[in-house]
Structure 1
């Protein structure tokens, strides 16, 4: 197959990205100057700068551990199994690690099938991602260490406060007993906050491996656990048909438990009415948890996902202010998100995006 005039090298040379054009058998028909320069500067393996050689064969016979993946991806594009293929891989050819991104796209020109191959040096992006990941890991370790180390002195404070209350109960006046109650209550709240912070810091490091999770079964379990609290408020939880997603079952259970508990806690004067349903969207599932509660002002909707940031006083509603932050962190670990739509007095709907198990 000859290279068409519209895909000739003199046309490709006007384009900034490095490009090689393959025929339907994988033979390189044309490359542009940017391709040749990029291949030489970055010592690409395989060295596919020459016209007439077969890109697939070069990949298959290369010593590079990623070349076989490149060949398989390019073949899948040429065979019509996929429109595009992307591969990110490290390279150690110059003694320092670098990363490249290979992209193969299928195109038709005058009823003939071609593949367009292009490379990018993504080393800076990968190094930046590594720095962020290492920084997050250090922060997680710090949060875990602080949370863990605070537990023991807090237990000691609570124990001694209880001992004082029991031993000197007859000697304390009303103010003294009230002060001790305040101190014990504060210590218990601090304990809850520390345990929440500990759980938050462990989302990435202590999570289970991902596996298919039947969300309908998970929500039925959560609903059963909360049934007494719902009955006390004469409320109702409705669970529609839910999908199977890919994830950590215990963490997803925690996420939806927090959302349902919020729906019960912030129901206001009306009996809580909570509804859970799901909708498919581009290889993902959007699970909606709706309630008829007090709602959230749009100006405060970003704040509710911040750690320990509370919109209400503890006298109004109990809680540590970490529940929704934990939900968001769990969703992020799963490659998803948690968003909210709400108006004061009109209830709230939380949207949890999760990858399809398929």
Structure 2
């Protein structure tokens, strides 16, 4: 390529990407896009080496990088098959693709350097990987849940078939009392099967639906859920204390967050000690992370089950003792994971239980272009 210094300068300045020209290992010209990208003025860059635009670790790891290039100058694009980073004036590092093109003019070697900020592309790539991992995890959970559900459905379906035969036989011999009893057992088993199916549908919908975020006041959401349970609270004479100040805000999916609070409150009431008025407390801890806890003084459970109780359809007690589909805590865990939170259980048998949702301070789920609203 043959060009005058003026033409070379025009080539640099007319580029939309960040571009600058190097000769004798010094920056000669930079365009406006370079100033915008790196935060330096042209006056701060011209006359200096490109070292000021590179992170310290790059210079340490590749001390002879420029010398190697000048031995055999050629058109190359760096950053496609390995990470290349640059550094702004502010010290912030960012990923780039770096294009180098030698220009020989009047016996002098110039190098045109073009820099592409690929931060946005890297973020999209990260989100794609994250989404793929989420889908894999969701599929694994659904597969486990479907297996457990099909296994648990066998018992109520077997009862329905057995007692339907008993109904038929009882009617044939005129024993209406036995027929009525068998019909009630079959009906109860059918309701149990329906609960399991409803639980399966609720769980499958939630693990495959991205959260729709909005700003929520934690205390207001707790009060709304407590109000929904007012009749059950009256019947059980449960004492509810909400030690959460107003004005503590989070970004969350309102229906999912309310469903999680409902499950925790429902369990706290359900697993009360026989003949004992349940005492339930909502409280908040702000440091080092925001943590919302629901504590009760119920029957509790052995610490070894602290992880297992979050598995779908995992029950520590018989359905006769404590009815339910067995998906409430699994939905809580799913909600927390999809929001980037954690949920943990702490309990001792006979000494109540405390469930804590930990919300990293200042963090909300990152926007994901794949998560279109459904």
- TM-score of the superposition, structure 2-length normalised? 0.59
1:63–1:175 CA distance, 2 compared to 1 (3 A): farther
1:347–1:139 CA distance, 2 compared to 1 (3 A): closer
Q: Hey, what does 2:186 align to over in structure 1? A: 183
Structure 2: gaps spanning 5 or more residues: 1-37, 45-51, 69-76, 88-92, 99-112, 364-374
Structure 1: gaps spanning 5 or more residues: 1-21, 50-54, 71-86, 91-98, 100-124
Task: Tell me the distance in 1 between the aligned counterparts of 2:290 and 2:332.
Answer: 16
Q: Does 1:241 align with 2:244?
A: yes
SS at match of 1:203: helix
Q: Does 1:250 align with 2:250?
A: no
> Shift of residue 307 of structure 1?
1.2
Q: Hey, what does 2:103 align to over in structure 1? A: none
Q: Hey, what does 2:223 align to over in structure 1? A: 220
1:278–1:178 CA distance, 2 compared to 1 (3 A): same
> Shift of residue 324 of structure 1?
0.9
SS at match of 2:206: coil
Q: Hey, what does 1:260 align to over in structure 2? A: 265
Deviations for 1:284-304, whole angstroms, at most 9, x for unmatched residues? 410010111111111222221
SS at match of 1:32: helix
Contact conserved, 1:240 with 1:276, CA < 8 A, in 2? yes
Q: Hey, what does 2:60 align to over in structure 1? A: 32
Task: Tell me the distance in 2 between the aligned counterparts of 1:303 and 1:193.
Answer: 18
**Which of 314, 332, 338 is the matching residue for 2:343?**
338
Aligned-CA RMSD value: 4.3
Regions of 4+ moved over 6 Å? 45-49, 58-61, 140-147
Q: How does 1:314-325 map to 2 (within 5 A)?
A: 314-325=319-330
Q: How does 1:1-358 map to 2 (within 5 A)?
A: 26-28=52-54, 31-33=59-61, 42-43=80-81, 64=116, 66-67=118-119, 88=123, 90=125, 132-136=133-137, 138=139, 171-242=174-245, 243-269=248-274, 270-282=276-288, 284-356=289-361
What count of residue pairs does the alignment treat as equivalent?
A: 267
- TM-score of the superposition, structure 1-length normalised? 0.61
Q: Hey, what does 1:81 align to over in structure 2? A: none
Task: Tell me the distance in 2 between the aligned counterparts of 1:207 and 1:171.
Answer: 56
> Shift of residue 183 of structure 1?
1.3
Task: Tell me the distance in 1 between the aligned counterparts of 2:172 and 2:239.
Answer: 44
Task: Tell me the distance in 1 between the aligned counterparts of 2:337 and 2:172.
Answer: 50
Contact conserved, 1:233 with 1:271, CA < 8 A, in 2? yes
> Shift of residue 357 of structure 1?
6.1
Larger radius of gyration: 2
